Each structure stands twice: as structure tokens, then as C-alpha cells.
Structure 1
Amino acid sequence: MKSSDEIWKDVPGYEGKYQVSSCGRVKGIDYYVREKSGKERLHTGRMLKTFIVNGGYHCLKLQVQNKRKSFLVHRLVAMAFIPNPNGYDTVNHKDENKNNNSVENLEWLPLYQNNRYGNHDAKMRLKLSKPVKQYTQDGVLIREYESVASVKNYGFNPAGVSKVAKGDLKTHKGYIWKY
């Protein structure tokens, strides 16, 4: 989504204080503060900075009446923009990129379904955990390894073995490799 298409809505529960955008940005809204002298002073709203919490999610703190509360940015976007008629409690990143908090990339899911949703790291571990077989160039089976990652313990490069097994290379260190 281009920033020119960015839509701003009030953060639920913080109406008139903070807004969240369809691109995943959060800002404070301009407001007036009455000083002890009785004079009103404009407090200019600003774009809020996020920080990364465990798991790689963007987080920020919102404050009202000296009470601060932490929020995950993707949840604020979903709460403001995505209807949740089933009352699901989990917000999923469709592309599995936790830096992409745009409304198009988010969806409400039940917890069990979100937990089944694959993540990039898990898919890579699964890919590397496939058994792989080592053959001579004449096609004679030498050994079967429990995973591509385990060939490293025997002096082979897992990336090279994987490329041969996928057909991108003919051999690695003089051997043919197959899944």
C-alpha cells in the first residue's frame, strides 16, 4: 500500500488521543493542555516509534492520564480496520513477515489455526531435516543422512548438498545427492 493511500483511524479505547494507519503506523493526535496558569497550550501529536519485542513483533506504549500500556502494532491495526465477528483472539501476518503490519497482510484467526500457520524459520528447519542420500557418480549408494543439516558433521556443505538434491548442481565434493 502506498502512503498516499494510507488511511488513519482512532485506536480503539484511545479515541481522540492516538491513531493507527492502514500501513501500520501509529501517531499521537494534537491536543490542548491546560496549564496551572489557566492558559491552554497545544501539544503537537507525533509519529510514535516502535520497538521490537521477543518474537520479532513491533510494539509501542500508549499513555492516557499517566497510565502507560504496551500494544503490539499489528493488533492495533487489526482492531481498528478488520472486523472480527467470530471474536478470534489472534492476529496473523499472512506473509509471515512481522515487519509488514499493513491491513492487507493481517487477519484474525483462532489460536489453534494461527499456531498451525507455518513460519519461515520452521519451514527452513523442516526442509533441512529431510533425509538425504549420498551416491557415487556411478549411482552406488554410500550412505543415508538423517538431514541435509547433518552432512555438515561429515565435512559437506548443506547448501551444496541441497542444490545437488534439488537438481541445481550435478555434484557436491564429487558425490551425487538425492532426497
Structure 2
Amino acid sequence: MVAEIWKQMSNFENYEISNLGNLRNFKTKKHLSLKPNKYGYITISIADNNRKRKSCRIHRLVGKAFLPNPDNLPTIDHINRNRADNRLENLRWASYKEQAKNSVPTKPRKQIEAIDMENEEWRKMTNGLYVSNYGRIKDTNNMLRVLSNNSNYHRVKINCKKYTVHKLVAEYFLKNPNNYKYICHIDGNKKNNKVSNLKWATKSECMKNAMDLGIDK
């Protein structure tokens, strides 16, 4: 039987993580309740050294505390593909390619052919994908990219990084001579990413637009 070893975490000094994937309070030694989320990962919200709460995945906490990473690899892989098995012996640092190769096969996404709408214009982005003035994204094979609806904004995942669609539309279709950092949805609907519904603005202008529409930002 593997002996349990505890380590205090440098960025979360009020907590200890163990080689068996358990988490406890450093002072009281009280264990925290750990349950997998809908994706199978065990995630928990804890306070860092600045008392700011952060959502952390247990396998990453174990890996950072116990696993050397001389090659500076970006991800921690579950060797047996069980995302809830966070024992040290089941974890390894891996590249994105290695992680994907060892992932659990999922039902393939249905691809949707991009049929142009009336007056729809497509512009090629620097990553090789295309964005339209109607707020749609497609790849070089003319297939629409699947958008995420986990928040108020539409997002698309490109090369393991998420982008908000309204920002992509604005960057490729709207001039920004004043270098404004914010983008307003004119009608207040954050899922309406047509270029006609977007404008570059200051933060105060966006807040005023929301107030005029009776929207709680």
C-alpha cells in the first residue's frame, strides 16, 4: 500500500495536497470534500495566498507539487484515462499531442457545412480560419466551427484557446481609430454578433448603453 505524503502548496499556503490526490487544510488538517464535475475532473475553489478564490483541478495541484517538469510540458495527463484518479502514480506531464492521443474517445461532433447567408462576407483570419460579418466562424474545409454557449458570450476554440466571437468580428470588420478596448452589443444581446450590432467603445459608453437598455451588467 502506498504511503500518503503531504506537501504544502506554495501558491496556496493554507492547504496541503497529497500524492493520493487528497486536499486538506494546512492548520486544521481537515480534509476538503472532492467531487468530479460533469466532465469527470475533480475541481475545487480555494483561496490563494492573496485570499483570492481560484478554481483548481486536483490533478494539476498534485502534478505541480510532486512531478518534476524539466521539459516545461503544458498539461498533466491521466495515464489510465480516469479523470477522477488523481494519484501521483497515475499522472504525468505531457504535450497537447500526447494528451489528445491518450484521451478517452468521445462521440464525434457533427460537422455543419457553411452555407452563405444573403450579403454574408467572409474574411480570412491570421490563424487560417474565416470570420463573417454575421458572426460565424468556419474552417478551410467550409465547415462551421461549433460555438460554446457556457456564458453570455459566444466563444470558439482555436488551437486550444478560446476566443469571443464578437471580438473576432470587430477586429476584422470594424475600424478602431481611437484604440478602444471594449466592444458594445448595441441591442444588448451578447449572442448577436453581427457586425451591424457591434461597435468599439469606452467602458463608460458600454455601461451607458447597458443602462439605457435596462440591462444589469
- In terms of fraction of residues, the more helix-rich structure is 1
Higher RCO (Cα < 8 Å, 6 or more apart):
1
Separation in 1 of the partners of 2:86 and 2:100?
19
- Per the normalisation by structure 1, the TM-score is 0.54
Does residue 46 of the first structure (1) align with residue 30 of the second (2)? yes
Change (3 A) 1:20 1:115: same
Distance 1:112 1:89 in 2: 11
SS at match of 1:52: coil
Pair 1:13 & 2:5 matched: no
1:57–1:104 distance in 2 versus 1, CA, 3 Å = same
- State whether residues 8 and 21 of structure 1, in contact with CA within 8 Å, keep that contact through their aligned partners in structure 2: yes
Query: Counterpart of 1:157?
Result: none
TM-score, normalised by the number of residues in structure 2: 0.45
User: 1:69 and 2:54 equivalent?
Assistant: yes
Does the CA-based 8 Å contact 1:12-1:79 persist in structure 2? no
Identity of aligned residues (%): 32
RMSD: 2.0
Q: 1:29 maps to what in 2?
A: 26
Question: What runs of 5+ residues in structure 2 fail to find an aligned partner?
Answer: 109-217
Say if 1:93 and 1:107, in contact at 8 Å, map to a contact too: yes
Which deviations, in whole Å up to 9, do the C-alpha atoms of 1:44-97 show, x marking residues without a partner? 342111232342100111114541101000000000000011111111010111
For 2:39 and 2:45, locate their aligned partners in 1 and report how far apart those are by CA, in whole Å: 17
Q: Secondary structure at the match of 2:21?
A: coil
CA–CA distance in 2 between the matches of 1:113 and 1:53?
23
Bigger Rg, structure 1 or 2: 1
Indicate conservation of the 8 Å contact 1:57/1:98, yes or no. yes
Consecutive unaligned residues in structure 1, runs of 5 or more: 31-43, 127-179
User: Secondary structure of 2:59's match?
Assistant: helix
